[in-house]
A and B are shown apart, each in its own frame.
Chain A
């Protein structure tokens, strides 16, 4: 009987973290412009040692101001989407659940479009203007979460099937509204929205936003992790879980809200990047088993690795043109999904 001990958990997470580190270093090196990481590392060390106060090098700006924020964004978004995906799969007891199945991405898209429309009529300072799309998207996501929750209740409690139906219906309705709005939008806003809908990490976000979503990730993912053992039991059956001592309704609410927040934060800054939230949990389950105490951190790290790799490919394959990262995840994700289906795993 090899149980999951904290030591084993940390060891496995450590391995994944090491892989992530290696991937990040590689991602820093690759790009449309050639960069010598050795030179950069040397400069970094001299900064650390206090010899120089700034990195005045060509590649410094490229690596640190362009690539590193984008990689960090990819890490947080990838981790958020994967943890949300794993959580929804447990909450809805459905293998095909992904973070967007409850309509959150459609709500965020609608919020972003409305924000773009409003922006034309407002005079905003540059900082505010940069924030209006993510804020609008997050508000849209939050409202969708509330609406789906209210619709998805049965006798006052969240019911998995009803929730799933409510989410799907809300998503289609919102998509129809989005289609309508997009035909009436003017040209240049429309083009920006197309990128957003595909999922795109190339738009640099304000620093404050990056800190905010990182903080949000830590809080929300942490909240879900405290229910990890409960989730294991809920998957065995909700009635049984209750008989085994799980406060099912409390766990459902916590997981629903936290996973929805994770999705909302991710979608607000990067659009609807697909397949990550669906497939990373399945792959991690293949490797580490369905125990959520291991699965949740593994999904977070695995999602970060997957998205950084996808994003690096997206910006190097057809350099200098950036492919939207959602296209990369779809191209890699769809065949992988078919493979998993055929192995009767997904």
Chain B
């Protein structure tokens, strides 16, 4: 697949979506998932039918407490799991039907930990993102090297290129993992609880970077998180989940309603709007 039309033209046309017809890059339609879907028994739904759409350049937050089905939704989008019902489209192509290599060229996943059996250097790690653009045995081209360098620069980790992965801090590792995802030059960037092990400054850094990347490179970014304020501050859309049910989809201002949030997170809180139009949530103690 040529890299010429990697980034979509202003009208949304790309090499794989020439018509650029649909303005939505990611389209999740009535997707549900259940464990042990046994025809003779009623299925145990991990995720009940939900739908949402995302445009290029948007940052979507999938928000909810633990065990609300966030990871399941993410796995459905990446194609690891097959939905019980419904379909997921990426630029008009159903993700399930894509071969593994093509999927890796379009969807990139950033997970929290990366356990390497034999630790490599950071730039080698980032280079792994280019794997999908070749056959089983491939040697890196100059183009690959340029893209990897660029990815490291975009996450502000160029100085870490020669360091070994087991010798850098958690936050730095997170950036390298993100750089690898960027090296894949995807259309869709998925992140699974990326802020879990980061301190506050790093958390803000990361979200800022994501917003910038989404805007500049027209990625669609989907972030799974339970951090209310980060979602409120940086997301263009929020998908609110509780116990497998999608309670609301929309911009943070509409989703962050006090009663709704209290019900979902089981904690007293208050919501106020800031000057920029973003909601801010304050938690109280239970007393």
Contact = CB atoms under 8 A, between A and B. Distances in A.
Interface stretch (B51-59, B99-107, B193-201, B241-249): B99-107
Interface of B: 78, 80, 100-101, 103-105, 107-109, 111, 114-118, 120, 123-125, 127-129, 131-132, 134, 136-140, 145, 148-149, 161-162, 180, 184
Nearest to A236: B116
B101 A245 contact: yes
A243 B107 contact: yes
Contact of A226 (B78, B129, B136): B136
Interface string A108-122: 000000000000000
Given A3-B140, A229-B134, 4 more contacts: A95-B117, A236-B128, A237-B116, A285-B118
Contacts of B136: 226-230, 251
Given A232-B128, A233-B131, A5 B139 contact: yes
A3 B126 CA distance: 12
Contacts of A233: 128, 131
Contacts of A235: 116-118
B78 A246 contact: no
A291 interface: yes
B189 to A, nearest CB: 12
A237 B132 CA distance: 16
Contacts of A154: none
Contacts of B105: 245
Q: Which of A6, A230, A243 has the most CB of B within 10 A?
A: A243
B131 A1 contact: no
B105 to A, nearest CB: 7
A49 B55 CA distance: 76
A225 interface: yes
9 contacts: A227-B136, A229-B138, A230-B131, A232-B128, A235-B116, A236-B125, A237-B116, A244-B128, A244-B131
The range of chain A's interface size is 20 to 34
Given A1-B149, A93-B117, A232-B128, A242 B100 contact: yes
Interface of A: 1, 3-6, 93, 95, 225-230, 232-233, 235-237, 239-240, 242-247, 251, 285, 289-291, 293
Given A228-B137, A237-B114, A243 B104 contact: yes
A247 B98 CA distance: 12
B103 A245 contact: yes
A3 B125 CA distance: 12
A244 B138 contact: no
B104 A244 contact: yes
B168 to A, nearest CB: 15
* Residue of A229, A232, A242 with highest tally of chain B CB at under 10 A: A229
A217 B127 CA distance: 30
Contacts of A239: 80, 111
B100 to A, nearest CB: 5
A247 to B, nearest CB: 5
Contacts of A285: 118
A243 B136 CA distance: 15
Contacts of B139: 3-6, 293
Contacts of B120: 289-291
Nearest to A95: B117
A95 B117 CA distance: 8
A226 B137 contact: yes
Nearest to B183: A244
Contacts of B162: 1
B188 to A, nearest CB: 11
A3 B145 contact: yes
Contacts of A290: 117-118, 120
Contacts of B109: 240, 243
A240 to B, nearest CB: 7
Nearest to B144: A3
Contacts of B107: 243
Given A1-B149, A236-B114, A240-B111, A245 B80 contact: no
Chain B CB count within 10 A is highest, among A227, A236, A244, for A244
B127 A247 contact: no
B108 to A, nearest CB: 7
Nearest to B122: A1
Contact of A245 (B100, B117, B125, B148): B100
Contact of A246 (B114, B123, B131): B131
> Considering residues B108, B116, B131, which has the most beta carbons from chain A within 10 angstroms of its beta carbon?
B131
Contacts of B104: 243-245
A237 B115 contact: yes
Given A227-B136, A229-B138, A242-B80, A1 B118 contact: no
B89 to A, nearest CB: 19
A224 to B, nearest CB: 10
Contacts of B78: 243
A160 B104 CA distance: 23
